[in-house]
Amino acid sequence: MTVGISATATVSVTGLRVGYGRRVVLDGLDLELTPGVHGLLGPNGAGKTTLIRVLATVARPERGRVRLLDEDITDRAALRRIRRRLGYLPQDFGFYPRFTVREFVEYFAWLREVPRAEVPLAVDRALDRVGLLDRADDRMRHLSGGMLRRAGIAQAIVNDPRLLLLDEPTAGLDPEQRVEFRALLRELGIDACVLVSTHLVEDVGTACARVSLLDGGRLVFTGTTEELVAAGVDGGSGDSPIERGYTAVLRGARAEQR
Amino acid sequence: MTGTHLDDGVLRAYAEDRLADVDAWSVETHLDRCPLCRGRLPLDETTGRIVAEVGAALRDRLTVADPLPRPSASKPAGVPTPAPAGWARPGSAGRSRRGRVRPGTRWRRSAVLLGAGPAARAGWLGSVAVTLALVAAVAANIAPVKAWVLLLVAPVLPVLGVASSYGRHTDPLHDLVASTPYAGLRIVLWRTLSVLAVAIPMSLVAGAVSGIGVPGLWLLPSLALTVLTLGLGAVVEPYRAGIGVAVGWAVLVLAPVGGDRLVAPVAVPGWLAVVAVAVLVAGARTARDRMRGEVTG
């Protein structure tokens, strides 16, 4: 079926370049993301975190155009509108140790400008979705690593974001929690654009419809999970089909560059 | 259409009745068997409003039917909460809700934004304690503590508080806060307000006890130095701005011309000039760099 109307992308990046001092982290990167769950794969140091920080409007592009939710991030008023609809969980995030879990999530509900009347319900709903409602009044410093990560996810979804950026969200989660997390991801991906960076290839295979692969600051692959698997049919090493696809694409990209 | 699902543009067009019949039929065929796309179908304005109203009405009803437990000062100690089996259990919201749920009011927002004075809180509470100790020492006439020490410390208190309240070096949540609409000047101003609320009375008390200058005029350097830190904080990391301002103040106080003139009526135009310059610096920076949306890089 072809209907002659194409969706506008939630994320549209063209010619993105980011560097720190003389080191170039991302160069000439183009990326389009539509609603759904997208995996962002790549070896350590490939630029995943930097890309996510740019999309979270925290890091600043040196060059290139970044449009989020149909608006340009260089426009100040638009930036504020974008940030209201943005959820972000950095890889390492601190917390104020005296905060309870509920206060932590509530703080971000206010910071993300959730309408006043909706704050209490939004906070408890977010806590419920990550299974932390019965720990809501515990202090942050008493939480285990996995629970902290879940509190982090709760603050990221408290404003019902249209664009949700999660940097290594499964770190610290045990296998059972990872399964639960993937179910939540699929649910969130129904009406939001969710970008999940991970170095665990298996996370991508089960939860993400589309995958992008970064290597050395460049986008070396973007497509469906099936297409990544297909790339590894002849060649590539690894224990699962998707791992073989991952290594095959990386090798191909590196050979090309030489 | 992307892959096996309808894309947003198509759904919107369908909802707004902008599709040709043939296309609309095929959209319907897909919607019939795809709950995912059905869920994504945008509501028209009237339907959306009705859904929102019903939601609001139900929410009030639910609150009545399920009164929130009042804040209990004594949490049953030693009773471990059973860990949830899985984490997204539908419908568990009402059942396991406990503890203190505060209504979302303007007051609550102010309380949260002011009270969340981050790691900085320890810093400025510490400096308040130091000032109080100094005030007590001067008041009790303890020999080694001279009144000018108060002049050296009290007006820079808010500066240190502001400097340590924002930026990746001092705020453990900096990256997260920077991605919210409150990032930058707005959150800095809230935090400044929370610092000033404590530091200004301290400054007045110190001024009264020290006997230097006019006590009321101690407010001026406090405010001017704070604004100067905010202004410089738009150019360099706030903690550097704070250190710079504090050092500058120390030099002025210890200069042979006499620190007491800093809190005398003669200094008023000078402080107003400092405020004006700081505002200009911050303004110029903001204009040149509108994109950034935060005070630090």
Q: Which residue in the set B1, B40, B108 is minimally distant from A1, CB to CB?
A: B1
Tokens 């009042």 belong to residue: B70
How many contacts (CB atoms, under 8 Å) link A and B? 178
For residue A5, pLDDT beyond 60: no
Q: Which residue in the set A7, A95, A113 is minimally distant from B9, CB to CB?
A: A7
Chain A's closest residue to B20, CA to CA, is A3
Q: Which residue in the set B26, B99, B172 is minimally distant from A95, CB to CB?
A: B172
- The DSSP code for B80 is P
Distances (CA, A) of B155 to A7, A148, B39: 57, 39, 58
Which of 205-244 (A) contact B at CB < 8 A?
Answer: 209, 224
Q: What is the pLDDT of residue B65?
A: 37
Q: What is the pLDDT of residue B69?
A: 41
For residue B84, pLDDT beyond 90: no
Q: Which residue in the set A83, A107, A224 is minimally distant from B179, CB to CB?
A: A83
Chain B's closest residue to A128, CA to CA, is B93
For residue A108, pLDDT beyond 90: yes
Chain A's closest residue to B287, CA to CA, is A76
Q: What is the pLDDT of residue B296?
A: 36
Tokens 């003139």 belong to residue: B261
Contact B1 A3 (CB under 8 A): yes
Set of chain A residues whose Cβ sits within 8 Å of the Cβ of B291: 60, 73-74, 76, 79
Q: Report the length, in residues, of chain B.
A: 297
Tell me, what amino acid is at B124? W
Average pLDDT over residues B44-49: 73
Q: What is the pLDDT of residue B68?
A: 42
Set of chain A residues whose Cβ sits within 8 Å of the Cβ of B173: 93-96
Contact A95 B173 (CB under 8 A): yes
Q: Which residue would you say has higher pLDDT here, B33 or A119?
A: A119
Average pLDDT over residues B260-269: 84
Are the beta carbons of B188 and A67 closer than 8 angstroms? no
Q: Where residue B75 falls among pLDDT bands split at 50, 70, 90?
A: very low
Output phi, psi for B181, to 5 deg: -60, -20
| pLDDT, tens digit, 9 for 90 and up, residues B194-247 | 888 888 888 888 888 887 888 888 888 888 998 898 888 878 877 888 899 999
Q: Where residue A197 falls among pLDDT bands split at 50, 70, 90?
A: very high
Q: Where residue B16 falls among pLDDT bands split at 50, 70, 90?
A: confident
Q: Report the length, in residues, of chain A.
A: 258
Are the beta carbons of A173 and A181 closer than 8 angstroms? yes
Average pLDDT over residues A47-54: 94
Q: What is the pLDDT of residue A67?
A: 94
Distance CA(A173)–CA(B198), nearest Å, equals 41
Average pLDDT over residues A107-130: 93
| pLDDT, tens digit, 9 for 90 and up, residues A135-179 | 999 999 899 888 999 999 999 999 999 999 999 998 888 888 888
Contact B10 A35 (CB under 8 A): no
For residue B81, pLDDT beyond 70: no
Contact B175 A53 (CB under 8 A): yes
CA angle A225, A228, A234 (to 5 degrees): 140
Are the beta carbons of A86 and A73 closer than 8 angstroms? no
Long-range contacts of residues A243-248, Cβ cutoff 8 Å, at least 24 apart? A243/A201, A243/A202, A246/A41, A246/A201, A246/A213
Q: Which of A85, A108, A133 would you mutate first to test chain B, the one with the most B CBs within 10 A?
A: A133
Query: Sign of the C-alpha dihedral, residues A86, A89, A91, A94?
Result: positive
Q: Where residue B144 falls among pLDDT bands split at 50, 70, 90?
A: low
Q: How far is A203 from chain B (nearest CA, A)?
A: 17
Average pLDDT over residues A54-75: 92
Q: Which residue in the set B8, B175, B180 is minimally distant from A108, CB to CB?
A: B180
Residue percentage of chain B with pLDDT more than 70: 76
Long-range contacts of residues B18-22, Cβ cutoff 8 Å, at least 24 apart? B19/A3
The ipTM is 0.86
Contact B59 A83 (CB under 8 A): no
Q: Which of B176, B182, B194, B290 would you mutate first to test chain A, the one with the most A CBs within 10 A?
A: B176
Q: What is the pLDDT of residue B85?
A: 43
Q: Which residue would you say has higher pLDDT here, B280 or A157?
A: A157
Average pLDDT, chain A: 89
Q: What is the pLDDT of residue A124?
A: 92
Whether the CB of B177 is below 8 Å from some CB of chain A: the reply is: yes
Q: Which residue would you say has higher pLDDT here, A113 or B61?
A: A113
Residue partners of B20: CB distance under 8 A and separation at least 6: none
Q: What is the pLDDT of residue A40?
A: 95
Q: What is the pLDDT of residue A114?
A: 95
Output phi, psi for A56, to 5 deg: -80, 5
Contact A79 B8 (CB under 8 A): no
For residue B64, pLDDT beyond 60: no
